[in-house]
Each structure stands twice: as structure tokens, then as C-alpha cells.
Structure 1
């Protein structure tokens, strides 16, 4: 005990001396290109106290409390004196944005106040201005100022960007196929395995350094993007300790505290985003022969085993009424850096939880056709499902990062896990038209649909960076593995057909028998890459050559299992109540109810796919003329995709039929070259003229390049894999699309982050992939990805950000910003599509052999007015966003085109920080002030738009509180 007391007293004696010092940290960059400067001397003026910057341009040293003038010097660069640097005991003073100019001759030192370099936003604009690629972005400084809680909210403010559902980024109006999202410059899949983009609302802004959107291609980037590539960069060495705790809540008057909310009984762990086994596949369900009355009569199973098998299915089949709760969330982020040996250790941890509830009482899912009467323009409905939908969505995200840095090297390890669970319950009225619609039987029905989607993603990323002593050589390597799992356990659909007399029955030719569906997806994604950069002199100017190699391996296993209810004898009267269907009195042998498998052996809806993509690139950045920078590169990708699967005919008849069966066979195999040229001409120090050319590619996904037929039990719509051939309209040869990209941009940068830029871009598409309504399938609603005719698009882009102090000085805290993208796209129709449109043209309608490109919006508008007063700690903004009507699914034959209609999003945001050091802040927001409706519509010649999908999200109010400890 005496030793412990003595130790405590000894530490107490030393701790005050440690607490008497403060820490100064900062970053020094080259003003000419935004790159970090290695070896800059940072000292207190008139002393030798200080440090030298490392390869990241970072420095750190300790000083006693006080106010200091710091001096920065570097060979062939102007000296900088920074005045009024305040150092407090036990605190960290951060100087984000120290930018040095090259010096032609010895000049007096540049003197800057410390207050002028607190924000890193200017540094980001320098990177953007000097970037070899055409690039836009948003920095951590903007995150703090605006108060956006996650990356999904923040990225909306980037030029030419729109965000779908608050999660997925579209660039320049191009859809998901042409946009790529990366994390720390590594390709990782998202929670939705069929999307090219990562769900970005999972990242709290306190975790991020910046988000950059590349709109032109350079050879060191993956070639499979066209509209843009979004890179999310997380912090590794926080400049100052981060300990942020935030809570949020949201209220939508049309959705929350609503007694009509629809849900159903799930499992005890649904609130954590996964099922605890309540919805697991019953025993014997995967056997070739499952327990049925016929198998019991044949002696394979007993009657009791049949009864037990049916009873093992969850008996809850009806959507239940309950009261919906508000949205809520909580997140915590902690990070710091410390000295370890001769290096520094940085660490950051983040955990977030979101629970959201949505209720729509006006959902509509419609199927429409062109009338068989060519003189009639109005569309004819074939099926309308309308009613109510309740959703409960849980997202749990955890991230941990460690980084260790010596003077010449850095190592980083990041582990991330995402867990998402969404429970959905629906009550729909079904109206099928059997009179005028082609291929329909005609009936009325009511349906209860229940589903649960569970997704998990684990990513582990390890990378290292190494530099030589003079900073001329840089080697960076990355290894990443991602394991994804998606399960739709026990999707239930119970549809009672309403007879003319008003009775509710199950009818296979109408509403159908009750069904249960299980879907499983497992995917592995492995990435390895190494990049080497060498700085050298060319014609007396700085130049850089960069080369590297990478390999990507992906594998997916997918399976769908379905089970349909049957009746061994006459059908009981259930009184239209789905929850009565599996009562014990009706289950065999007590009653006629049993389940029959809908799965062939082998299963046509099971497949395994894998791909290997090996890439090599070389790129050279140099100045061939004064003020002209050229970045010339070439990338090669050897891409091979293999597939194991079969179509329905082979599954039914085997080798005796004419079906197709693939066993790890190549479905894509190509060596592609992707040249790129980027030119940047500096008209002045703050004004650039850019031009670029590149070749990129868009490849089909695993699901698209398969034989799978995937039915959405909630809407009864069917996705057919692109390997299926349809006589006369599609040969089953789905392949990649090659794109040529041309860009031209003029940009000028002004003080206080003001900017003005004008861009033009042109793209050509060879055999683009689009989702097409299958014309031959009139009795069911089926879609398929297909290569269509060649396409082109031409676009213009305008961005501005301007303070209003030019009008009057009292408006200095106000600013306006906006960006606008206008696009004209055109697809040359295939002969099959053109003929089908001509044969179904309305009287007086002229059919051209071109149409707009699917997935390409004709315009994007982003605009806002902001008030930013740092003295008050207040930032207020009103933001507007809209994306023009976009062709989503290509029609054909009797089926009209389907367009996503504009959603006029007007949002208000206020962020107010409090306290001496602004350690706490409150944000308040209003989303969808205009109460705009989400609409995807069928369109026709001189016809009123009719609903494919419609619902009203309503206006929502959200409040969040963040405390920085």
C-alpha cells in the first residue's frame, strides 16, 4: 500500500508539469499544386523550438501557454510568418491550411494571421484547382460549418450530384450503373449487392476528411465508371482529439404516431438489424421431396411429419395494426493521436445506430399497356395494386481505424461492419382488368405481404505508404477484403381472390395461393493494389510518373427457394383472414392445408458467379509548355467473369431438353485498354481551362449476367437474367458497354471559397445496357437487362458560389450557391425496338429511330442560400434540388416507357454551436417542404401519365444534438 501511495504522489508531482504545455499541429502544402511539403522547418520566430514536416506535410511540437509568432521556411520557397498563434495548456492548436509559394528570388516573408488559416476548405479548393482530373468535393471544414450529420446529406452540395433516397450518389444525372463509390480509394461493395454505389449515409461527417467526386478518368482509377467516381476519405490522424456524441430524432406528421401503421411480429433481435432464427427455413425444406400428403401416402413421411413440417412455418400471415414511433439515432466517434516510440499512433472509432419508421397509406403499383385500339391514346391498365405500406429500418454501423506513422512510412488498418434490417408489411387491393387488357384474366383480390430483408457487410482494409528520404519516391499498397451476406427470410404473400358473390377464396388463376420465399446471397470481394510514384524534373519543371498494378476477385452464391400452399381436398372458408390459414384445425391431416415445393432440382434460381480483374497502368504528369500541365496515361484490364447456373428448361428436362447449363464457364472474357489524356492550362494563378479524353467501360452485374428469374413477392414483378434468350427479340448475349468521354471546363477561384465554373461534356456509348420490358410476356410483368443501340450524350454544367457582400457590407455573412447540369442524350434504337414501336404507334404519331438514354436525367438543379456567422456559431441554409424526368425502364410492343418523375426537394437546415469552444451544437432541419410526391410513371403519346410506383413521403422535421467532449 505504501508503494502505491508513493507512486501516486510521484505521478501527481509530474502531471502538473505535463499539463503546463500545449500542442501545435498543422499541415503545410505547396500552393501551386496542393500537395504536402516534406521537410519544411516550422519554428517559433527567434528560437530553435519547432519541428520539421513529414511526408504528409504534418508537423507537431509543444509550447508553454502563450501567444506566438511562427516561422516556416523551405528551400526555394517564400518564408511565411504566422502571427497570433494562441497556445493553451493541455489543448491542441491546429493550423490547417499553411500554403507556401515557390520563390523566384529572395523576398520578404509573407505575414499571415492565424485566424486566416483555421479552415481546410481553402486547401481543398487548391487540390481541386490543381487536380489532374476534373474534380469537385467537400471538406471536413464544410461538414463542421453546415452541420450535416452524415455523408449523404453533405454530398448533395457538390456540383452535378444528386442523391437517391439519401443513400446513393448519381453524378451528372447518370444512373447507378455509371457511378462508382470508393472508400479511401479502394473499391468495396455496398449493402445492396446489385448496386455499383456504396450506401454513403452510414458515415458520420465527424469521421471524414473529405469527399471528392472525380468526373474525368485518369489511369490510376478503375475503368468501370463514366458519370463520376465518389471517394470517401476517412481520418487517420485526427489533428485534435475527437470525442463526439450525437443524438437525433425525426418526426413526419403523416407517418409517426399513426395508429394505422402496418407491421408484423418478427424476432427478438430485429431492433439490431438481424433475425434471431424466427424466420429460418424449416427442417426438410431443402430436401428433394418434402413432407406432403402424397409423400405420406407413399410411406416416405408420416402424417405427423407432414403436420410438424407445416407447423414449422410461422403462422403469422397478416399485416397487423400498431402505432408507429418517431425516427431516432445515436452515434459516437472517438479519435486522437499519440507518440509511440519514434512514431505516432492515430486511432479513430465510430459507432452509429439509426431506426426509422415509414408509413404510406397511398402506395400504388400499376401495370399499364397501350390500347389495342390505335386511335386511342390513353393507356389501358392491366393491374393496379394500391393500399398501405409500413416499413421499419434499422442500420447499425461500426468502424475502427488504427494508423502508425514514422518519418518516412505510414501503416493503416480499418475494420468496418454494417448491419441492416428492414421489415415491411403491406395491405393491397388488387384490380386486374380482363376485359380490355391483353393477356389478363380479370379478378379482384386483397393481399397481405410480409417481408424482412437482412444485410450484413464486413470490410477489413490494410494499407501502407513508404517514402524515400528526399520524397522523390512514394510507394503505396492496399489490401482489402469484404464479406457480404443478404437474406430475405420467409417472404409471405397471402392474396384472397374476391368472387362475384363477395366471398374470399384462394384462386391459382387469379390472386394465387399463399406463398413463402427464402432468398440467400453470399459474396466475397478481395482487392489488392500497389501504386508507385516518382517525382522528377522535365524541361525544368516538376513532373511525376506513376504506375501500378491491382487485382480484384469477387464471388457470389445466390439461391431462391419457394413454397406454395396447397389443399388436399376442398378449400376451407377462412373468412378472408390470413392468420386463420395456418390454424391447427386446417393443417393436414386435421385439414387440407400443406406446402408444396416450388423448387426444381437442380434449381434454376441458384447460381454461382466469380470474376477476376487484373489491371496495370502507367501515367505521366508533366508540363510540356509554360502554364500547361498534361497528364497522359494508359490502363489495361484483363477481366474474366464465370458463371455456374441453368435455365428453367434445363432444370425441368435436363439433358433431354434444349435448355442451357453452365458450369463455371466464361461469360465475359476481355483484355481492354483505356487511354486517358487530361490537359490543364493555367490562364492565371486562379483560373484554369481544362480538357480531357478517356475511354471507360460499364459491365453487367452478377445478377444481370445469369439465368435467374427473380420475382418481387411484394409487387409480383419479375427480373429475368440477361442470359435468357427470347425468340426474335434477344439472343441472350449480354456484354459490356464501352464509353468514350470528352470534357472541357473553364474555372475561376476567388477569395473566401468563391468559385465560378462552366463545363461541357460529350460521351459516346457502344451497346449500353438498359432495363427493358419484355414485349412477349403479356400475362406477367417481366424485365430484362439488354444491350440496346449505340448512344450519345452532350451536357453543360454550371457552378457558382458567391458571397453577397458585393451588394452591401451587411450581407457579408450571406451567400448563394448553385449548380446546374443540362444533358441531351440519344439512343439509336435496334431494329427490334423500332419495329415494335412502329407497329403499336397511335394514329398521328411519328416514330423516330432515336430516344433518350435510360438512366440519364435531362437536367439537375441544385441551389441554395446560406447564412454563415462564425461569431454567433450559426449556419443556416435553404437548399433546393431536382432531377429531371428520367427514362427508367424501356418499353416495347404494347408496353409504354416508364419514367421517374421530378422530385422537387426543398430542405431547410440550421446549425447552432454553443459554448466558449463551440463544444456543443444543435441542428434543426425540415425535409421536403414542398411535400413533393415520389412518382415513377408510364408515359404515352398524348396520354396522361399513369402510375408504375407512387407514394407520398410527406414533410419531415429532424433535430439533432452533438456534444464534443
Structure 2
């Protein structure tokens, strides 16, 4: 042991010496772009002459130099480009200086150096502008830097800032006012499944912004993109390879006067892991459910029934009041890149990043309203009459956890990335409602009731991405990606207990408010996506051209189950002195108890509500980007997709049973043509045509009949033949035409104007059953042909043109105006004519469901890099939108505009501005989320009203 001491001491001394030497140096890193194309440049020479040291950019256009502390001038040179000198690059010991947005311009006859100062290279929005200007498609987006400035916490909040984007239900992204069917979301360029069986698009509120690098929306189609979108495709890119060492922590809290410290907040006792976003089994469906024959009340079954009800189910059926606390959130992220052993100028590097975020949020409204209205009979009776009103209070508690981990290896010509992400979200909801049903409405019995509703939803998404990029000889580039995603959305133990009022007594009545019930819904989905892209640069017509071709494969499978437990009573005359749901499952009231109870539970499993579906989608494409004329870039492409959906399930009567049968099969070709006339280096005129598709979801192409216990509505799958519908739901095909003028300036400034036109063949819309009077039922159906046209305007302008006093102020905005028409089917037209009012002229066309007539986004920002102060005022609204198509006695339902006005203020503090404090006010106007029924000459009547309230939040973050 003594002989080892000198070696240990020597080793420690050597390690200390190397560490001290390394700490004496700093690092310069940057990214170099082709100023004319926006592409990163590989192999650019980056040199410091005194003392001489140099390197070259890798396949991402990035470089890294280790030098002693000091101030340097960098020289960037590349064949056929003007040299670029960057002066005053300050390097500190043990720190990284990052120089982004280094643009090289093509050389002229006289090769003169371009000189810039490092202090001017700090506007990261310029990189996004370059991407937009040089992209083959019409792009809009938001960068990580802008997200940081605004202080948005989730992807759905940040997406509001993107041109033409609106948010539905606080979760879903719509582009150009089109519904979620025509908008698509991808993660790192790959398909990911949605977590809501009621929607086609992904719920964006589960993505914390701390893991996002940028969000970009493609407004038109090219052959390398999936064909199933027409409004827009939003791609979320997560962080992978940090330019410098990061170690950030942040905490925040929020206060809403209507929500927090409210003693009337509604909740109920859940599980011990609710704070982690999932149930611990408290709400789980019982593992061993006795046969129905053993649950029928009899002396032989008494013990079985009593044990089943008291031991397998929590007795909690009533919402309770509890004081609500503040919202809070926290996040931590760290990452770096490590240089490995390699040749000088081609040093391999290993990057890593890890992020963990947590968020807890309350929601509460004591004036929630859900209602259903009908048209009145008679040509001269214009006003609508309600069939049911539900009013009361709802409390929600949200918990969200996001975890991201990634490794990336690269050298000058190769890069391999592995990223894993887990998102977990839990929502616990409790509500108390007063229900008023009108016997004057068609098909209604008329009653008054009181209801307690307890709801829990847990959503999870696990995504893995393996991604490789390789530069090969003769200007070939290979890009491949494999990305499995596993998602689940479960609603364990939804409990609804509604007492029907009968004078001074309260009872359960099947013909009125119904019996108490418990529902378990389970959705599991697996999505495996893979794609490979191969591109080559080559000369054509004496101009640079790129040919690109590739293939993609997507396999998706979903398993969906619904189980319902219905309460029964051996004494049909059972009454209560008060409508207290906590009394229902007291032990003495259970059948088989010593006190002679009469409550028991019978499982109600409907085969139509259980289904399995899968999709196989194979795609191939070829695309060519070239210049047939000087300044006229042309992107010509063709994509082929072979799409097959299979379904296992049966209708409610068991008359139609499918066992992995094909319910949709298509082999389609999707051509695209995009023309870009480059008026100047920073000004384009774009024109495009593409054919795309919108396909029905698993749920829509099923027999499922799904009840929403909150709004008391019923969804019916499109395979269910009812009324004049044949049960044959098919895809929608679109022809898309786009024209855009755009110009870009420095400091991220730009202005653009677009027009677009779209034709829809057999669009799918959610249609209400016109013959179902006793219940509120909807179904997705193909309706008549449709058209849509619109204009889109965007600008972002620095106010320094007024005076240098305003150089830190920026004004931005975008406006989308659209008009849509659907040619109604003959049956819909006749059902509307049947209830036509005096003076009304029913036409054969109407608005397209889900289409907003206008979308407005505006922002006014202040950003002072020197003082560290930044502020912004942001506004967002979309016009009144047809949400559910009526017919017959049922009017159309529209979602009203929500004028969202938000303010943010942040201050970076300290010598190196590593500490930042944020302050935000959300919903400054205290707007209400409202949906209404509308009918000719009638006063609009509410479908749903929710008051989110005004919120104040403050956050603190620090970068070590």
C-alpha cells in the first residue's frame, strides 16, 4: 500500500495540473451559414492568426476552438465566398463564447473581407428569418430565444405567437383557422400519436418549453413531408447538442383571484401519487369482477355483493370543498459537449442534455354552464327553447412532469443522436351541478336534479428518437430516423351521481337524471415511425440543384376499452332526505349488510365500446429542387402513400362484427409544385400547388358509442349506420393553391402577404343526429364538397426608424382572413328546410365546421440586451367558428371569439446576467370561453360557458 502512495500522489498532481491548464483556456463556438441559401456550410476554415490556430466546420456548420483568455479576430474563409472577419471576440477562462448566425456571402470579382463585431451577433430571430427566407416551403415559427423572452411555459402557449396559429380548448393547434383534422404535429420530424380519442391532433399542453429548441409550421406541402395535412404542419424540435455548457434551474408560481385561496374550490380524495400525474391504483378497475349472475340480489349472493361493493370500490361519490393553494412549477436542465480524441480539424464531439420539469396548476369556475337548445316548432316562432341546462362549479388540479435525455455524437461528416422523452400528465376534476330539463322540448321528460361528478384523466407519452446524418462523397447526404412512441390516456373511475328532485324528496330515476354510474376508459397506442432521406447536390442548367428521394413507414395500433358499472337498487322506491352523494355507499346501505341495505352494482360492458385498430402506411417520394431560370427556384415532387387501416369490433346489436378487417385502404399519389422567384437576396415571391389528404381517426372509423359524463353528450363512430348515413366513412382529399410575397430585413424584421385556395372532396364533419330527441348524439360523416380561400398578412418591424430612442422596441402582427363553403348533402338540406322560419332562405351551402373566419395575433415587445430588461404585450383571437353541425330541430353550435391579451416582463440580473426574474399577467381582459347555439332571428343561447379568470405569475431562473 505504501508503494502505491507516490503513484497516487503523482496521478493527482498530474490531474490537477491538466485541470488547471484546461481552466486557463476558453472556447469559441459558432455556426456558419450560406447567406444566399440559408443552409449550413461544411468545411469552412475558421482561423485565429495570433497565435495561429484553426479548425473547420462540421456537417452542422458548427466549429469549436480552444484558446487562452483574451480578445481575438476570427477569419472565416470558404471557396467562392467572401472572407468574413469577426472582431472583438472576447474569451474568458473556462467559458464558452457562442457566435451564431455567421453568414457568408458569395464572392464578387474583388474578394473584399466582410468585417463584423462579435457584439452585434446576438439576434437569434435572424436565424429563423434566414430559414424562412430560404426554405423550400412557406414557413412560420418561433425560436427558443423568443420563447425565453416571452416566458411561455408550454408549447401550446408559445404556439400562439406563430402566424395563423390558434389554440382550441387550451391544448390543440389549428393552422389558418382550420380544425384539428387538417392540422398536424410532428416531433423531430416524426409522427407521434395523439392522447385524446376525440381528436386527431396532439395535445400540446404536455410539452414544457424547457425541452424545445424551436417550433416551425409548414404552410404548404412538399413530397418529403407526410401528406395528411392541409392547414399546416407544426414540427417541434427538442434540444440535442448544446453549444456550450448549460446548467439552468427555474421556479415559478401563479395566482388567480378566482381560483387560488378559494375555500369553495371543489375536489375529492384521490390516490397517493396524483401529484406525479398518475393514479396509484385507488381508481383502478377491480381485477376480479364476479359473473353477473352472482351480482343479482338474492340471499345466496348477498355476501358476494356486499364484499364486491365495499372492498372493490372507494365509497367517495361526492365532491368536497377545500382551500386551493398557488400554482407552482420548477425545472432543471444541464448539458454540454465533450471533445474526444481525433485528428486536428476533425475532432469528434459527444453532446449530452438532460431536462426535468414539474408543474402543478389549479383551475376553478363556480359559474360553469352546459346547455342544449332546440328550435321551436312553427314558422313564426324564432326563439330557441332549452332542453337541458347544467350549471354549477368545477375544480381541476393538473400535474405535469416532463423528462428529456439525449446523447449526440458527431464529427465533421457524421452525426448520430439518441433522444428519449417521457411526459406524464394527470388531471383530477370534481364538479357539482344543478340540472334543469324542460318537458316543453321535443323528446324531453322534464325534471330537476342535482349532480356530483368526479373525473380523473392520466396521459403519458414516451418517445425515443434514433437519428443519423451522414455526408458522403460527391455531395451525397443520408438522413435516417427511427422513432417509436408509446402513449396512453386513461380515465379511471369516472363517477356521476345525479339525484332527481321529487318535491322534498330525492331519488334515482332512469327516466329522469338516471342512476349513479362509474366508467373506466383505457386507451393504449403504439406508434413506430421510420424514414430515410437521401439527397445529392448537382449542377443543372448551370445552376445548383438538389435531388432528394426517400421512403417512410408508419405502423400505429390502438387498443380502446370502456367498462361501466351501473348502480341498482332492490327497493325501487328508495328516497333520500337530501341530495348528498356521500350517503349512497355507506356500508349499511349496501345489499347484504346487517342493516338490510339495497344498493348493488352490475357491470355494463358494451362490445361496441371496445375496439382494436391498426394502420400500416408505406410511403415513397422523389423531389427535385432546381433553377430552370435564373432566380426561379423550382421544387417538383411526387409522393406515394399506401394506407391500410384495420378494425376489430362490433356494432351495438352484434349484427356486424369485424375481426382485423380492412375498413380503409388506399394507394394515392400526391404531386406538389413549388415556385420561388428570388426577387432579391432577401425578397421572394412564392407559388405552390399540392394534393393532400385527411383521414378519419381510429375512433371515427369504429362502432364506439362514447358518453361524455360532463356535458352528457354521446359520440357515435362513423361505422355505425344510422338515419340516412350508410356507415362508410372515407378520407377527404384536398387540392391546395398558395401564393406568397415576403421580404426579410436585419434584426429579425419581415413582412409577407399570402393568398390561398383549397378544394375539399368529401370533408368529414361532426354532425348531430337530427332524429335523436331524447339524447344529444353526434357522429363524424362525409358531407358535401367544400371550398376555402383566404389571405394572410404578417409583419415584424423594429421601431428604430422613428428614432434611435426606440431601437429596442419591436411591433409584430399577423392576420388571417378566410371564407369557406360546404355544399350540403341532400338530407342535411331537407332537414334544415323542414324547420325553415318565415323570412329565412335556406341555401345549399354553409360554413365549414372548424373554420375560423379570421385569426389575429399581435405583439409589442421591448428588449434591451445591455440593461437586461425585456417586456411584451401579446394579443390573440379567432373569429366565431362553427363547431358542431346541426340539422332538423337542432341549431348549429358556434365557438365565440376569445380575446386573449397577455403581458410579460423579465429582468436579467448580475454582472453576467445569469439570473432572470419573470412576471406575467394572463387573460388581462378577463375573457370568458363561450360556445353558443345560433338560429335565424333568434337570440343566441349558450352551449358552454367557462370563466378561466385573470392570472398573475412570477418566476426566477438562474444559469450556473
TM-score (norm 1): 0.96
Aligned to 1:904: 899
- Conserved in 1, the CA contact under 8 Å of 2:429 and 2:454? yes
Matches within 5 A, 1:594-605: 594-600=600-606, 603-605=607-609
Higher deviation after alignment, 508-517 or 116-125: 116-125
- Conserved in 2, the CA contact under 8 Å of 1:26 and 1:58? yes
1:366 and 2:371 correspond: yes
CA drift at 1:165? 4.4
Which of 52, 58, 71 pairs up with 1:54?
A: 58
Which of 384, 395, 401 pairs up with 1:390?
A: 395
Aligned to 1:591: 597
1:790 and 2:774 correspond: no
CA drift at 1:166? 4.3
CA drift at 1:265? 0.7
Aligned to 1:769: 764
Matched residues in 1 for 2:563 and 2:727: separation? 24
- Conserved in 2, the CA contact under 8 Å of 1:772 and 1:784? yes
1:162 and 2:166 correspond: yes
Matches within 5 A, 1:799-878: 799-878=794-873
Which of 671, 674, 684 pairs up with 1:675?
A: 671
1:344 and 2:349 correspond: yes
Matched residues in 1 for 2:565 and 2:19: separation? 70
- Conserved in 2, the CA contact under 8 Å of 1:445 and 1:497? yes
Aligned to 2:305: 306
Q: Deviations over 1:430-479 (max 9, x none)?
A: 00001x20000000000001111112221111111111156x11111111
CA drift at 1:945? 1.2
Aligned to 1:328: 328
Aligned to 2:185: 181
Matched residues in 1 for 2:451 and 2:126: separation? 57
Matches within 5 A, 1:681-696: 681-696=677-692
Matched residues in 2 for 1:737 and 1:184: separation? 26
Aligned to 1:526: 528
Q: Deviations over 1:912-955 (max 9, x none)?
A: 11112211111111111111110011111111111111111111
Higher deviation after alignment, 302-311 or 703-712: 302-311
1:92 and 2:88 correspond: no
Which of 418, 421, 424 pairs up with 1:419?
A: 424
Q: Secondary structure, in 3 states, of the residue corresponding to 1:917?
A: coil
Q: Secondary structure, in 3 states, of the residue corresponding to 2:800?
A: coil
Matched residues in 2 for 1:243 and 1:61: separation? 21
Q: Deviations over 1:336-358 (max 9, x none)?
A: 11113331111111111111111
CA drift at 1:199? 3.2
CA drift at 1:293? 3.3
Matched residues in 2 for 1:60 and 1:469: separation? 24
Matches within 5 A, 1:21-420: 21-45=25-49, 48-285=52-289, 288-289=291-292, 291-294=294-297, 296=298, 302-311=301-310, 312-342=312-342, 343-420=348-425
Matched residues in 1 for 2:209 and 2:613: separation? 36
Q: Secondary structure, in 3 states, of the residue corresponding to 1:834?
A: helix
- Conserved in 1, the CA contact under 8 Å of 2:123 and 2:747? no
- Conserved in 1, the CA contact under 8 Å of 2:123 and 2:748? no
- Conserved in 2, the CA contact under 8 Å of 1:167 and 1:200? yes
Matched residues in 2 for 1:606 and 1:403: separation? 42
- Conserved in 2, the CA contact under 8 Å of 1:293 and 1:568? no
RMSD: 1.5
Aligned to 1:653: none
CA drift at 1:40? 0.7
Question: Relative to 1, partners in 2 of residues 1:910 and 1:409: Cα closer, same or farther, differing over 3 Å?
Answer: same
Higher deviation after alignment, 511-520 or 335-344: 335-344
CA drift at 1:744? 0.3
- Conserved in 1, the CA contact under 8 Å of 2:207 and 2:423? no
Matched residues in 2 for 1:330 and 1:450: separation? 28
- Conserved in 2, the CA contact under 8 Å of 1:494 and 1:513? yes
Aligned to 1:509: 511
Question: Relative to 1, partners in 2 of residues 1:203 and 1:505: Cα closer, same or farther, differing over 3 Å?
Answer: closer
CA drift at 1:47? 5.6
CA drift at 1:283? 4.2
Higher deviation after alignment, 174-183 or 690-699: 174-183
Higher deviation after alignment, 800-809 or 678-687: 800-809
Q: Deviations over 1:515-553 (max 9, x none)?
A: 111111111111111110111111111110000101101
Would you say how many aligned residue pairs link Structure 1 and Structure 2? 946
Aligned to 2:22: 18
Q: Deviations over 1:471-515 (max 9, x none)?
A: x1111111111111222111111100001x221111111011111
Q: Which runs of 5+ in 1 are unaligned?
A: 651-658
- Conserved in 1, the CA contact under 8 Å of 2:505 and 2:576? no
CA drift at 1:191? 3.3
Question: Relative to 1, partners in 2 of residues 1:616 and 1:960: Cα closer, same or farther, differing over 3 Å?
Answer: same
CA drift at 1:683? 1.1
Matched residues in 2 for 1:528 and 1:277: separation? 35
Q: Secondary structure, in 3 states, of the residue corresponding to 1:125?
A: helix
Matches within 5 A, 1:440-839: 440-469=444-473, 472-499=475-502, 501-575=503-577, 576-589=579-592, 590-600=596-606, 603-650=607-654, 659-727=655-723, 729-839=724-834
CA drift at 1:290? 5.6
- Conserved in 1, the CA contact under 8 Å of 2:768 and 2:886? yes
Q: Secondary structure, in 3 states, of the residue corresponding to 2:82?
A: strand
Q: Deviations over 1:542-570 (max 9, x none)?
A: 11000010110111111111111111234
Matched residues in 2 for 1:597 and 1:927: separation? 45
Matched residues in 2 for 1:519 and 1:817: separation? 44
- Conserved in 2, the CA contact under 8 Å of 1:389 and 1:426? yes
- Conserved in 1, the CA contact under 8 Å of 2:259 and 2:362? yes
Aligned to 1:885: 880
Q: Secondary structure, in 3 states, of the residue corresponding to 2:391?
A: strand
Aligned to 1:429: 434
Q: Secondary structure, in 3 states, of the residue corresponding to 1:751?
A: coil
- Conserved in 2, the CA contact under 8 Å of 1:867 and 1:875? yes
Q: Deviations over 1:177-201 (max 9, x none)?
A: 1111111111112433543333334
Question: Relative to 1, partners in 2 of residues 1:186 and 1:376: Cα closer, same or farther, differing over 3 Å?
Answer: same
- Conserved in 1, the CA contact under 8 Å of 2:374 and 2:891? yes
TM-score (norm 2): 0.97
Matched residues in 2 for 1:283 and 1:108: separation? 78
Question: Relative to 1, partners in 2 of residues 1:207 and 1:451: Cα closer, same or farther, differing over 3 Å?
Answer: closer
- Conserved in 2, the CA contact under 8 Å of 1:274 and 1:420? yes
Matches within 5 A, 1:923-938: 923-938=918-933
Matched residues in 2 for 1:144 and 1:432: separation? 49
Matched residues in 2 for 1:662 and 1:201: separation? 35
Aligned to 1:655: none
Higher deviation after alignment, 71-80 or 98-107: 98-107
Aligned to 1:951: 946
Q: Deviations over 1:37-64 (max 9, x none)?
A: 1111000136641101111111111111
Q: Secondary structure, in 3 states, of the residue corresponding to 1:49?
A: strand
Matched residues in 1 for 2:947 and 2:674: separation? 44
CA drift at 1:572? 3.6
